[in-house]
A and B are shown apart, each in its own frame.
Chain A
Amino acid sequence: MSEFDPGEGPSIVSITDRVKPLALGVAVSSVHFLGDRACFVGAEETIAIATGEGEVTQTPVHGGAILCSVSDGKRLVTGGDDGKLVALDAKGETSTIATDARRRWIDNVALHGDGAVAWSAGKTAFVRSAKGEDKSFEVPSTVGGLAFAPKGLRLAIAHYGGVTLWFPNMAANPEFLEWAGSHLAVTFSPDNRFLVTAMHEPAMHGWRLADNRHMRMSGYPGRVRSMSWSAGGKGLATSGADTVIVWPFASKDGPMGKEPAMLAPLPARVSVVACHPKNDIMAAGYGDGTVLMIRLEDGAEILVRRNGGAAVSALAWNAKGTLLAFGAEDGDAGLLEM
């Protein structure tokens, strides 16, 4: 493999001049689209909402650090170290969904397609159904991640030693998927056949839900902090290496016995990934500030942001796939119209 430098390499197509730069002034930890407005979640206190024209307004949501965020395109829900769970709607209005009685940190949040919301504080996972009914469930150790299954009301709760699958509306005992180690982020494949966790160690673990067969996905030099399903759930793109690692999930065996695709190698660690909602392309942000657009089929790259800035910490497409937003740890951000 020959190394290449996106700053000077003449072979790469660059569209950096088409990016609308945004100076947010706050460290960005994630970005989500509500309609066509990019909502940059700050590390602390506020969400910076940017219009397509590049106007930015700051909306206060928490009294301290913002620890987690999720969006379904209609609302953006954040959890904070102030013990609050706050929702921001497309009109830019905020409301407090819940406040932890002991003011514990809200570490994780997940949204269900039908309007249910789940969050966790310590070892307890909470679910509020679309009808407004609250339920809670305690797992043996602190919750590392939450995800709703695409079908039915089923919540995956990642923790030390495995994942608990909880059915809040059923009396049945939760299922437990065991695997040694500390499990953090968790995600269902869009077709509901696979469950994947990013672990504390630099590896991922997966289960085929039909038979609970294990899938070990390892070899990363760093922890996987960002995962994104490609259009139709054919692949799972991940950060954590100096190339984008895309695990194949199209066949019935998922990635079992298969090699992942390794795309867009750079002399920097991939920090965040976001697959396009409709087409087989994705965006990747790197620790050296680079943002690339990558075609999944052949790994062809387009430069969106040059290296040299702070690490890219946030990436998102709007639902139509016409806008790409990125943000960096130093508050530098940009918006690209396709």
Chain B
Amino acid sequence: MAEASQKIPVTVLTGYLGAGKTTLLNRILSENHGKKYAVIVNEFGEIGIDNDLIIGADEEVFEMNNGCVCCTVRGDLVRIMDGLMKRKGKFDAIIVETTGLADPAPVAQTFFVDEDVQRNARLDAVVTVADAKWLSDRLKDAPEAKNQIAFADVIVLNKTDLVSKPELAEVEARIRGINPYAKLHRTERCKVALADVLERGAFDLDRILEIEPDFLETGDDHDHDHHDHDHAHHHHDHGHDHGGLKHYHDEDMQSLSLRSDKPLDPTMFMPWLQQLVANEGQKILRSKGILAFAGDDDRYVFQGVHMMLEGDHQRKWKDGERRESRVVFIGRDLPEQAIRDGFEKCITT
């Protein structure tokens, strides 16, 4: 089994139609970074760069034969990865561009489920390009756009030159209402440092360091952790001001954060988590956790996509480090109270 570092990193590039995916892709391919990328695109011809490692794909979403409707994979990706591996050594990383209407989950799940794909490649991050001018509208009328935001590890908020400051604050607040954990970069013409979108290791268990909401506003000493509160109201476009920072609670897509200072009982927590994703996996897009188990000196980390989970002991808790467990779910219509109650029962007394 190849070590994680030897596996080829795969970046999934999503974004609604016209957001600027191709612009970002062209930038990645044309910039002088000394790396060679194999690119799997859904539409040939949009890329202006000559590269024999640009592969056209038909997005074929296959259900796995295990009776689980959300266990879908990209069949074409399995085949293309197989062929690409014959050219190992000819490229350093792979970028998978999805269509504007695609759900990123089947792409991500392909890297969890397929043995051969898993042996050779690792999912690096889901990068979503969003259009600052139109995203707010799309979040209202296009569930695909909302999925892509919810799923993202990195959000490139593009075309910021086309909106006013208040409009920008508005769209950012809407993004944060869905996914407060992704790294957000404001750009014009997708001008973002490539190190901010590539080689992120977002699915690497060893790199789950902390789970904190990401905010651009620095110097704002206001406590931003509003996504941890217990209320369960989901109003339409409900915005409220906290020290100048607007907060939205998306009507159907939200994140849910759980934490405990007391250690968790692994014999309670693991079955609860597995049961939760088995029952609610269709609603849970992403999950992540850092756990302190009773009687265990190691940090335990896990992450998941829908029903698929992977977890491992990461490292020893450091001296003086706060042994706090944190779990985050991003999903659609999450049964918040049931999840909170279930989590509470896993806390040792």
Q: Which residues of A are interface residues toward B (Cβ below 8 A)?
A: 27, 29, 43-44, 63-67, 81, 102, 104-105, 107, 122-123, 141-142, 144, 160, 180-182, 199-201, 203, 222-223
* Residue among B56, B76, B115 making CB contact with A222, cutoff 8 Å: B115
Distance, CA A4 to CA B191, complexed state (A): 59
| Interface pairs (8), CB distance under 8 Å | A141-B58, A142-B60, A142-B75, A142-B76, A180-B63, A181-B62, A181-B64, A201-B66
Inter-subunit contact B87/A142 (CB<8 Å): no
Q: Which residue of B lies closest to A42 (CB)?
A: B86
Inter-subunit contact B75/A27 (CB<8 Å): no
Q: Which residues of B are interface residues toward A (Cβ below 8 A)?
A: 44, 52, 55-56, 58, 60, 62-66, 75-76, 78-80, 83-84, 86-87, 114-116
Inter-subunit contact B115/A201 (CB<8 Å): no
Distance, CA A63 to CA B56, complexed state (A): 17
* Residue among B62, B80, B114 making CB contact with A160, cutoff 8 Å: B62
Distance, CA A32 to CA B154, complexed state (A): 48
Distance, CA A49 to CA B331, complexed state (A): 56
Inter-chain contacts of B44 with A (CB < 8 A): 102
Q: A65-B87, A66-B86 are in contact. Are A122 and B62 (CB under 8 A)?
A: no
Inter-subunit contact A142/B115 (CB<8 Å): no
Nearest Cβ distance between residue B30 and chain A, in whole angstroms? 22
Nearest Cβ distance between residue A327 and chain B, in whole angstroms? 14
Q: Which residue of A lies closest to B78 (CB)?
A: A200
Distance, CA A281 to CA B325, complexed state (A): 59
Main secondary structure of the interface of A (DSSP, over half): loop
Closest 3 CB pairs of A and B: A65-B86, A43-B86, A181-B65
Inter-chain contacts of B116 with A (CB < 8 A): 223
* Residue among B64, B83, B84, B86 making CB contact with A27, cutoff 8 Å: B86
* Residue among A27, A107, A222 making CB contact with B79, cutoff 8 Å: A107
Distance, CA A24 to CA B80, complexed state (A): 26
Distance, CA A141 to CA B87, complexed state (A): 25
Q: Which residue of B lies closest to A27 (CB)?
A: B86
Distance, CA A201 to CA B79, complexed state (A): 13
Inter-subunit contact A105/B76 (CB<8 Å): no
Distance, CA A29 to CA B80, complexed state (A): 16
Q: Which residue of B lies closest to A123 (CB)?
A: B58
The CB with the most chain B CB atoms within 10 A, among A29, A65, A105, A223, is that of A65
Q: A105-B55, A141-B60, A160-B60 are in contact. Are A201 and B86 (CB under 8 A)?
A: no
Distance, CA A129 to CA B56, complexed state (A): 29
Inter-chain contacts of B115 with A (CB < 8 A): 222-223
